[in-house]
């Protein structure tokens, strides 16, 4: 599990409660929202309403006008949170991580393996660095393929 999996689920639960007549604590929402948005990878997966609604009262204005029933609101939030929750429940790895790692190990090029490992390590803390390492990886694979 990802270290912020509990926070991601708690954020969803607060919004579902607020959208269905609950009276949630704005301080808890703000703290959870900030924690999730501070993680560069998770920030790309949060529902748009989390990015735009800086308080529960803003969220309430958004959701009450968008959906008229509690069921519609719950379904909307569950659907919106699904990518984030799936990601954190899998420990923060993407489905291709294991397949690519296995292929690289079979490729038997130390330089390629090092580039892949660095790319994975930098994915959440340094996205630009991860992209650079992914480019390096692609270049290394192409060079290796062209060598006799």
Whole-angstrom Cα distance, residue 23 to residue 1? 29
Whole-angstrom Cα distance, residue 108 to residue 74? 48
Q: What is the pLDDT along the chain (148 residues), one digit of tens a residue?
A: 788 889 999 999 999 999 999 999 999 999 999 999 998 888 888 999 999 999 999 999 999 999 999 999 999 999 999 989 988 888 755 555 555 655 555 555 666 777 777 777 777 777 788 788 788 778 777 776 666 6
pLDDT for residue 143? 72
pLDDT for residue 142? 77
Q: How far is CA 133 from the centre of its chain?
A: 20
Question: pTM here?
Answer: 0.63
Whole-angstrom Cα distance, residue 23 to residue 53? 16
Whether 18 and 58 have beta carbons less than 8 Å apart is answered as: no
Whole-angstrom Cα distance, residue 104 to residue 109? 8
């Amino acid at each position: 599990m990802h270290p912020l999996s509990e926070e991601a689920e708690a954020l969803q639960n607060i919004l579902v409660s607020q959208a269905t007549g609950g009276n949630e604590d704005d301080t808890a929402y703000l703290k959870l929202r900030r924690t999730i948005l501070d993680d560069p990878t998770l920030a790309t997966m949060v529902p748009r309403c989390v990015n735009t609604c800086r308080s529960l009262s803003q969220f309430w204005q958004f959701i009450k006008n968008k959906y008229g029933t509690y069921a519609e609101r719950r379904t909307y939030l569950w659907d919106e949170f699904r990518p984030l929750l799936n990601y954190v429940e899998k420990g923060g790895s993407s489905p291709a991580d294991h397949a690519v790692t296995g292929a690289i190990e079979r490729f038997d090029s130390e330089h390629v393996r090092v580039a892949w490992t660095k790319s994975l390590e930098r994915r959440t803390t340094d996205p630009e660095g991860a992209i650079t390492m992914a480019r390096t990886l692609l270049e290394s694979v192409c060079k290796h393929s062209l060598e006799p």
